Amino acid sequence: MGRKTLIPIGPYHPLQEEPELFKLYCDGEIVTDIKWETGYNHRGIEKLSESKTYDQVFFLVERICGICSTSHPFAFANAVEEIAGIEITDRAKYIRSVIGELERIHSHLLWVGLAGHFLGYNTVFMWAWKYREPVLDLFEMITGNRNSYAMFKVGGVRRDIENQKIPAIRKEMSVMRKKLDLLTGAVMDDPVIHARTKGVGVLTQQDIIDYAAVGPTARASGVDIDVRRDDPYAAYPLVNWKVITAQAGDVFAKAEVRLLEMYESASIIEQCIDALEKMEEGNVALKINDIPEGIGTGRAEAPRGEVFHFVVSDGSNSPARHKIRAPSYTNIATFKKSCIGQTISDATISLAAVDPCYCCTERMAAAYDASTGEKILNANELINLSLKRTSEIRKSDAGHE
Partner 1 sequence: MGFKEFCFRKSLWVFHFGGASCNNCDIEIIDCLTPRHDLERFGILLVGSIRHADVLLVNGSINRRDKDRLLELYNQAPKPLLVVAIGACGCTGGIFAEGNTFAGPVDKIIPVDAYIPGCPPKPEAIIAGIVKLAGKKG
Helix (H, G, I), strand (E, B) or coil at 121: coil
Cβ distance to partner 1 smaller for residue 126 or 320: 126
| Binding of partner 1 by 23 (CB under 8 A) | no
Cβ distance to partner 1 smaller for residue 109 or 180: 109
Q: Which of 59, 194, 205, 209 binds partner 1 (CB under 8 A)?
A: 59
DSSP calls for 266-317: HHHHHHHHHHHHHSPS---B-----PPSEEEEEEEEETTEEEEEEEEE-SSS
Cβ distance to partner 1 smaller for residue 275 or 326: 326
CB of residue 236 vs partner 1: minimum separation in angstroms?
25
CB of residue 284 vs partner 1: minimum separation in angstroms?
24
Q: Which of 130, 171, 194, 375 binds partner 1 (CB under 8 A)?
A: 130
| Binding of partner 1 by 357 (CB under 8 A) | yes
Provide, for the chain, the percentages of residues in helix, strand and coil under a 3-state DSSP scheme, each rounded to the nearest 5: 50, 15, 35
Quick check: 359 and 242 in contact, CB under 8 A?
no
Binding mask 105-124 for partner 1 (x = CB under 8 A): -----x--x-----------
What Å distances lie between residue 234 and 68, 333, 344, CA to CA? 17, 30, 43
The amino acid at residue 189 is: D
**What is the rounded distance in angstroms from the CA atom of residue 157 to the CA atom of residue 139?**
14
Quick check: 59 and 150 in contact, CB under 8 A?
yes
CB of residue 304 vs partner 1: minimum separation in angstroms?
12
Q: Which of 23, 25, 33, 42 binds partner 1 (CB under 8 A)?
A: 42
Q: Which of 9, 24, 31, 65 binds partner 1 (CB under 8 A)?
A: 65
| Binding of partner 1 by 212 (CB under 8 A) | no
Nearest to 104 by CA among 222, 234, 269, 254: 269
| Binding of partner 1 by 147 (CB under 8 A) | yes
Find the binding residues for partner 1 in span 220-239 (CB under 8 A): none
Find the binding residues for partner 1 in span 288-317 (CB under 8 A): none
Which region among 47-55, 157-165, 298-306, 329-337 touches partner 1 (by CB under 8 A)? 47-55
Cβ distance to partner 1 smaller for residue 43 or 336: 43
| Binding of partner 1 by 129 (CB under 8 A) | yes
Query: Residues in contact with partner 1, total (CB under 8 A)?
Result: 40
Helix (H, G, I), strand (E, B) or coil at 203: coil
| Binding of partner 1 by 43 (CB under 8 A) | yes
Q: Which of 5, 12, 320, 364 binds partner 1 (CB under 8 A)?
A: 12
Nearest to 362 by CA among 14, 15, 48: 48
Cα separation of the two ends of the chain: 62
Q: Which of 25, 30, 63, 186 binds partner 1 (CB under 8 A)?
A: 63
Which region among 14-22, 214-222, 314-322, 330-338 touches partner 1 (by CB under 8 A)? 14-22
| Preceding amide of 19 cis, omega within 30 | no
Cβ distance to partner 1 smaller for residue 268 or 357: 357
Burial 44-83 (b: 16+ CB within 10 A, else e): ebbeebeebebeebbebbbbbbebbbbbbbbbbbbbbbbb
CB of residue 129 vs partner 1: minimum separation in angstroms?
4
Quick check: 221 and 253 in contact, CB under 8 A?
yes
Which region among 56-64, 245-253, 288-296, 378-386 touches partner 1 (by CB under 8 A)? 56-64
Cβ distance to partner 1 smaller for residue 233 or 358: 358
Helix (H, G, I), strand (E, B) or coil at 373: coil
- Could you tell me how many helices (H) and strands (E) the chain has, helices first? 16, 10
The amino acid at residue 154 is: V
Rg for the chain (alpha carbons), in Å?
22
Q: Which of 17, 50, 162, 369 binds partner 1 (CB under 8 A)?
A: 17
Cβ distance to partner 1 smaller for residue 19 or 199: 19
Bridge partners, residue 299, by sequence: 308
Cβ distance to partner 1 smaller for residue 58 or 310: 58
Instruction: Return residues touching partner 1 (CB under 8 A).
Output: 11-14, 17-19, 39-45, 47-48, 51, 59-60, 63-67, 69, 110, 113, 125-126, 129-130, 133, 146-148, 357, 359, 362, 365, 368
